[in-house]
Structure 1
Amino acid sequence: MSTIVTLDLPQGKIMGEKVILSHEKLYYKFFGIPYAKPPVGSLRFQNPQPLEHFPKELLDCTKQPNSSLQFNAFTKEVTGSEDCLYLNVYSPDVTSENKFPVIVYIHGGGFMTGYGNRHILYPKFLIEENVILVTVNYRLGAFGFLSLPDGGISGNYGLKDQQLALKWIQENITSFNGDPKNVTLFGQSAGAASAHFHFLCNESRKYFHKLICHSGLATMEWAISQNAQEKAFKLAECLGFTGNAVDTAHFLQKFENSHELIASMYKVLSKEERGHFLRLPFGPVIESPNSEKPFITKNPIDIIKTEQFAESIPIIMGYTSQEGIMLMAYSSKTVEEIDLDLSCLIPSTICEPESHQCKNIVNKVRKFYFNGKSIEDVSKLCEALGDICFVVDFHKTVELHNEYQSQSPLYCFKFAYDGKLNFYKVRYKYEHIKGACHGDELYYLFYPNEAAEHVQPSEQDLQMVKTLCKVWTSFSKYGNPTPDKKEKCSENIDFVWNPLSKLENKKFSFDCLEIDNKFAIVKDPDGERVEFWKQLLFETKRNY
């Protein structure tokens, strides 16, 4: 049951809905609020432009907005629109004198797909903890991340969209009873890498006060696009044009069939890139300092090591126990094909394909994960993939933050809970593997509208929802994820989750909250596997 409500903003008046949630609990929702001018026509491949006035005297914000134009790998269809710079706001109460903490969520999808809309990201659970949730749509794929600097296209437009949304939230969230001085930036996968990029960007840091990163960091190999300018030329060639950088930029900017452009994106990957895992056609790039309002001009690891940020921004970062399930689900290779050529697991940054060194590394990987035999246990293959693409870089980044950014308290977690709301694992048909897939934790924070119709969560699942939401919102409210004794909601919260302590002149080790049937503090999760890769990198004279 809902009632129409209106709200005055500096850009004009909007119309949303007041909804009865449960137990007479109300919340207010406003969908599709534009935070920038539509990035179409001459604004394609341009930095986002602020929107001074809404296009209508009363803007209808009761309907889901456009998502960014994208290619759906499952359906093979192009969906969305170039006109996509919208956000959604969910508030417990727009009439109260109290100011609520704000959580801004950036969706994942490999910088290529995804959206912040209701049927995936419905905040039924979070709203009950009296926080405001804002979800953001931003440009994806080539429209958000194509980079051709010699032709005047600097790139990182998706990140710049997010940054403008954060600025908009700072300037407008009080109208929804949000506290602009208490904003938590939260992302998952590419959204988490994006959030981490914002932590490393001086301009963005002004707009939020806490950070949550699930299964993604700016330091992960896949988070920075390689050979970006070559890919821009290749995309134009796929669309029938060959020319210099300026002419190619002009062609792409004027190309009318946006669906064809999006459908051609994966063709820019080289044969070698297609043979490896998590190689993305377009993503963030390191811009020239001479670009117009560059977002990032140095490698994220160098920023962590050299930038002395004055502000303390508490951070939660973590990963799931079976990240690699997602990689297998999207792989074009069968287990048998991978088994015949394990070199596809080895990052090209470690060794040259087909080299003697690569063959030696493959033998070590086979011995470590598969006891020197053929792949019989797919869960071990998923572990290997997860380690290569997520876990090792996570450990490395935790160590870097602990050494160079210790002014910002850091809390680490590993999500391993296996329940009926682990919808991604079910969707990928990997229910037989114990643990949590990439993204499975999200449905214990967001109510899964579509999938929930067919699933009856267990009491333990609902308790996990309650506990996880309590811990995450405690962090968003106070910067401390351990709820106050008065707020503890279950027997699961019998722990104290402390930030990492800086270790001086000692081998690095860290405590981590493992989230499973019970919540427990563990030391160095998956440490043996990480040590294997550290030693491998040392032997190949690569930096860990």
Structure 2
Amino acid sequence: MEKLKILFAVVLSLGTASAASLGVVHTEGGDVRGQNIPLGLFRSVDVFKGIPFAAKPGTFEKPKPHPGWDGILKATKFAKRCLQISMLQTSTFGSEDCLYLNIWVPHGRHVSSNLPVMIWFYGGGFMVGGSMGPNFLNNYLYSGQEIADKGNVIVVSVGYRVGTLGFLSTGDSRLPGNYGLWDQHAAIAWVHRNIRSFGGDPNNITIFGESAGGASVSFQTLSPHNKGLFKRAISQSGVAFCPWALNRNPRKVAQEVAEKVGCPTDDRMVACLKSTDAGTLAMASPPITQGSPDHPAVENLLLSPVVDGDFLPDQPGNLFHNAAEIDYLAGANDMDGHLFTSQDIPSLGDKNQETPIEDVKRLLAAYTKEKGQAGLDIAFAEYSSNWGSTPSQDTIKRTAVDIGTDYIFLVPIQTAIYLHAANAMSGRTYSYQLSEPSLMAGPGKPYHDWVGADHADDLQYVFGKPFPTPKAYGDRNRDLSGYMIAYWANFARTGDPNKGNMKGPVTWPEFTSTGHQFLNINAKMNENSIEKEMRLRFVRLWTSTLPSLPSYGVTDAE
């Protein structure tokens, strides 16, 4: 027995000793050294933290190349987040010098080469967020380690400017906006130029992101500036068409910020804003206030990308020719709207409180306000069509969540998927819905039993959290996480979620303009998980029935 133990110890030490590592890597800015983390027999991952991909950006300026460094950069610490407002909106934190990226490179017995590359963009409503996401006991949500190891891909996470500093715009060339999107573009271009030194294939890059990160991915596919820089894209719960993703009246926000920081709102406004302290500007972002049925909170996300005539030369709907060669995978969570709708209608999330039908109508009226009473009547008739004469509280509450999910996420995402498929040349299209019940739902837990996948529920599965934190999850969560990593990594490798080093439980069909097929993703998938025409009645309601009604004096200028 003792001999066996010694033999096992020797084998283990050999395994970790012979797992490969990159050592010092040469990049355009200089040499970098990361950290090698052994992951068992002949497996390890090299982690590089805080590599600059651009210089410290000037206020309201596009990013510029980094001047480089002497000696070897010790890439072992995450950089600070980009300067942003705190969750309580009472202070700011982070740094102006924040254009850094992190890289995870998996190895077997030999140093990896020619691996697919996945670049992650975080969410946060374009107002907040960081490349590493929330951190609990040094377990960062956006650690690329599990995807890199299990999917055998290189994962890169990047910082980009948010809030006032990332997206303030006057709607003209004096302060064009989209600085955060330019940061993302600079990161993609850096990876394209340098990733070969890390063992990556510069001709097989996939960009992926969630919420505002998913919308960012969508904008990057539509911009002519990214031609040839990446091959594939994944949008989770966010696209360019989401009502919060594009600001149609940026000047109004710029004037409000100017007034807050004591700048004039005439011709001197831009010069004054540019000379204002960055911390003061970050603090002056429009407040994210608690919503109500009449004023849903999602309408407060006012700092977002704009059509600037440069990064986005036209309205998103007219730019899909730029994505014709890009493979695109996109989807929503079946209750993406729950997080938002239960803040607008607080009784909705309370198990002991009834939600009046009137509140559901008020929320729907806010979303359809441009179409007046006629719009509300048509939409409400559609949403309550299966209610019967005495709908239960569960029915009423679920309908409110459906309305939020459809309006804020699902319908815009379906619109992007339809347009991608219709304009695709070589690019393939895949559509999904995540329907795994929320871990917060059920008896003795805060959510109603019927709550499905809430906004951001997909993140823990894509980033493999059930594996390093087994006590917080059950086997079914690990199964689901394994499936999602398999589909995502296969898609990054081949452009087809079914083909690659891993196998998903069912074959995910391509979305076509005729079949409209999608995969319903959860821990218990089978052939019935392939569905078609996702919520088509409601997609039609929002994309054709309501837009065809006359508008009532509510314009974007208000």
Scaled to the shorter chain, the TM-score interval is 0.7 to 0.9
**Distance in 2 between residues matched to 1:275 and 1:213, nearest whole Å:** 27
Please state if 1:384 is matched with 2:403: yes
Letter in 2 for 1:91: V
Letter in 2 for 1:122: S
Alignment equivalent of 1:301, drawn from 317, 340, 361:
317
**Distance in 2 between residues matched to 1:182 and 1:389, nearest whole Å:** 31
Alignment equivalent of 2:286, drawn from 223, 247, 266:
266
CA shift in 2, pair 1:169/1:366, >3 Å: closer
**Distance in 1 between residues matched to 2:195 and 2:525, nearest whole Å:** 36
Aligned to 1:208: 230
Aligned to 2:92: 78
Asked if the contact 1:406–1:502 (Cα under 8 Å) also holds between the matched residues in 2, the reply is no
Letter in 1 for 2:341: M
**Distance in 2 between residues matched to 1:85 and 1:149, nearest whole Å:** 25
Displacement of 1:278 in angstroms is: 1.4
Displacement of 1:373 in angstroms is: 7.0
Aligned to 2:65: 50
Letter in 2 for 1:384: I
Give the TM-score taking structure 2 as reference length: 0.82
Asked if the contact 2:290–2:343 (Cα under 8 Å) also holds between the matched residues in 1, the reply is no
Displacement of 1:367 in angstroms is: 3.1
Alignment equivalent of 1:121, drawn from 142, 146, 150:
142
Displacement of 1:201 in angstroms is: 1.2
Asked if the contact 1:217–1:223 (Cα under 8 Å) also holds between the matched residues in 2, the reply is yes
Displacement of 1:380 in angstroms is: 2.5
**Distance in 2 between residues matched to 1:87 and 1:338, nearest whole Å:** 48
**Distance in 1 between residues matched to 2:302 and 2:386, nearest whole Å:** 29
Question: What SS does the aligned partner of 2:400 have?
Answer: helix
Displacement of 1:351 in angstroms is: 3.4
Question: What SS does the aligned partner of 1:482 have?
Answer: coil
Letter in 2 for 1:322: M
Aligned to 1:69: 83
Whose radius of gyration is greater, 1 or 2? 2
**1:285-300 maps to which residues of 2 (within 5 A)?**
285-288=306-309, 294-300=310-316
Give the TM-score taking structure 1 as reference length: 0.84
Alignment equivalent of 1:401, drawn from 420, 429, 433:
420
Question: What SS does the aligned partner of 1:223 have?
Answer: coil
Alignment equivalent of 1:321, drawn from 331, 334, 340:
334
- Of stretches 295-304 and 456-465 in structure 1, the one that deviates more from structure 2 is 456-465
**Distance in 2 between residues matched to 1:383 and 1:366, nearest whole Å:** 9
| Runs of 5+ consecutive residues of structure 2 not aligned to the other structure | 1-15, 133-138, 349-353, 552-558
CA shift in 2, pair 1:68/1:188, >3 Å: same
Aligned to 1:537: 546
Letter in 2 for 1:115: G
Asked if the contact 1:351–1:357 (Cα under 8 Å) also holds between the matched residues in 2, the reply is no
Displacement of 1:433 in angstroms is: 3.5
**1:340-379 maps to which residues of 2 (within 5 A)?**
340-342=358-360, 345-346=363-364, 350-352=368-370, 355-357=372-374, 360-361=377-378, 363-364=380-381, 367-368=384-385, 376-377=393-394, 378-379=397-398
Displacement of 1:384 in angstroms is: 1.3
Letter in 2 for 1:19: I
**Distance in 2 between residues matched to 1:344 and 1:69, nearest whole Å:** 36
Alignment equivalent of 1:159, drawn from 171, 181, 189:
181
Alignment equivalent of 1:106, drawn from 113, 117, 121:
121
**Distance in 1 between residues matched to 2:22 and 2:45, nearest whole Å:** 12
**1:474-485 maps to which residues of 2 (within 5 A)?**
474-483=490-499
1:442-482 per-position Cα deviation (integer Å, ceiling 9, x unaligned)? 21121449x97594321222122222211211111111111
Displacement of 1:157 in angstroms is: 0.5
**Distance in 2 between residues matched to 1:170 and 1:124, nearest whole Å:** 21
**Distance in 2 between residues matched to 1:370 and 1:65, nearest whole Å:** 52
Question: What SS does the aligned partner of 2:34 have?
Answer: strand
Letter in 2 for 1:324: G
Aligned to 2:298: 278
CA shift in 2, pair 1:362/1:15, >3 Å: same
Letter in 2 for 1:219: F
Displacement of 1:109 in angstroms is: 1.0
1:243-299 per-position Cα deviation (integer Å, ceiling 9, x unaligned)? 314x2112221212x3443233124999999913412120000013xxxxx201210
Asked if the contact 1:104–1:136 (Cα under 8 Å) also holds between the matched residues in 2, the reply is yes
Question: What SS does the aligned partner of 1:221 have?
Answer: coil
Asked if the contact 2:196–2:202 (Cα under 8 Å) also holds between the matched residues in 1, the reply is yes
Displacement of 1:161 in angstroms is: 0.5
Aligned to 1:513: 519
CA shift in 2, pair 1:233/1:535, >3 Å: closer
CA shift in 2, pair 1:534/1:251, >3 Å: closer
**Distance in 2 between residues matched to 1:363 and 1:24, nearest whole Å:** 59
Asked if the contact 1:338–1:344 (Cα under 8 Å) also holds between the matched residues in 2, the reply is no
Letter in 1 for 2:334: S
Asked if the contact 1:375–1:381 (Cα under 8 Å) also holds between the matched residues in 2, the reply is no
| Runs of 5+ consecutive residues of structure 1 not aligned to the other structure | 289-293, 504-508
Asked if the contact 2:32–2:73 (Cα under 8 Å) also holds between the matched residues in 1, the reply is yes
Letter in 2 for 1:243: T
**1:157-236 maps to which residues of 2 (within 5 A)?**
157-236=179-258
Letter in 2 for 1:28: D
Question: What SS does the aligned partner of 1:394 have?
Answer: helix
Percent identity, aligned pairs only, is: 25
Letter in 2 for 1:35: F
Displacement of 1:330 in angstroms is: 4.9
Please state if 1:462 is matched with 2:478: yes
Question: What SS does the aligned partner of 2:80 have?
Answer: coil
CA shift in 2, pair 1:109/1:317, >3 Å: same
Letter in 1 for 2:34: G
Alignment equivalent of 1:249, drawn from 262, 270, 284:
270
Alignment equivalent of 1:500, drawn from 500, 508, 511:
511
- Of stretches 105-114 and 397-406 in structure 1, the one that deviates more from structure 2 is 397-406
Asked if the contact 2:213–2:238 (Cα under 8 Å) also holds between the matched residues in 1, the reply is yes
Letter in 1 for 2:432: F
Q: Give the alignment's Cα RMSD to 1 decimal.
A: 3.4
CA shift in 2, pair 1:271/1:385, >3 Å: closer
